[in-house]
Amino acid sequence: MKKKGKKEKSLKEKFPPSEPCSCDICQGYCRRPGWWTVEEAQRAISEGYADRMMLEIAPELTYGVISPAFRGCEGGIALNLYADKGCNFLKDGLCELHATGLMPLECRFCHHERIGLGQTCHLEIEKDWKTPEGHALIKEWGNRIGLWERLRKTRDAY
């Protein structure tokens, strides 16, 4: 229960950035795209990265998350077929978003010293996407990149 008068911490406050690290464990985290918060994804879209994102859909189809895309899934829906291709922002072992201020919260937080805390961060970001703002951004992004139209054409072809 939240104490009266106490402001709830933002996700940025709950999950501060970790120290940079290039160990095998931390580099392994970089192969799987981390999640932006809704606000961060909106900024990344505004900065021109919409075509390098993908829509991850929960297995039970109850929510979605816009994240950096696997190579091959840019501008589409996340497919396991491309999961082994890694994040499209990872080039030569380095993240292109690192110094831009657009690195996803989950990527900034996860670190080999924070054992088990990555899942907590992930679940909190999931809640952020299960909001009217999250749903609206997904609709807006899908319209902007033409995803909904491509899906309609695919459906109509069958």
Whether 1 shows a pLDDT value over 60: the answer reads no
Kindly report, residue by residue over 48-57, the tens digit of the pLDDT: 999 999 999 9
Q: Buried b / exposed e across 57-95, counting CB within 10 Å, b at 16+?
A: eeeeeebbbbbbbbeebbbbebeeebeeebbbbbeeeeb
Bridge partner list, 140: none
- Residues 37, 128: contact at Cβ < 8 Å? yes
Domain boundaries, the chain: 19-157
Structure confidence at residue 5 (pLDDT): 64
pLDDT one-digit tens code per residue, 16-25: 777 777 777 7
* Residues 57-78: tens digit of each pLDDT: 999 999 999 999 999 999 999 9
Task: Give the model confidence (pLDDT) of 81-136 as tens digits.
Answer: 999 999 999 988 888 998 899 999 998 888 778 777 778 888 999 999 999 999 99
Q: How confident is the model at residue 3 (pLDDT cuts 50, 70, 90)?
A: low
| One-letter amino acid of 135 | H
State the residue for tokens 């994240």: 67
Distance CA 61, CA 44 (A): 24
pLDDT at residue number 30: 77
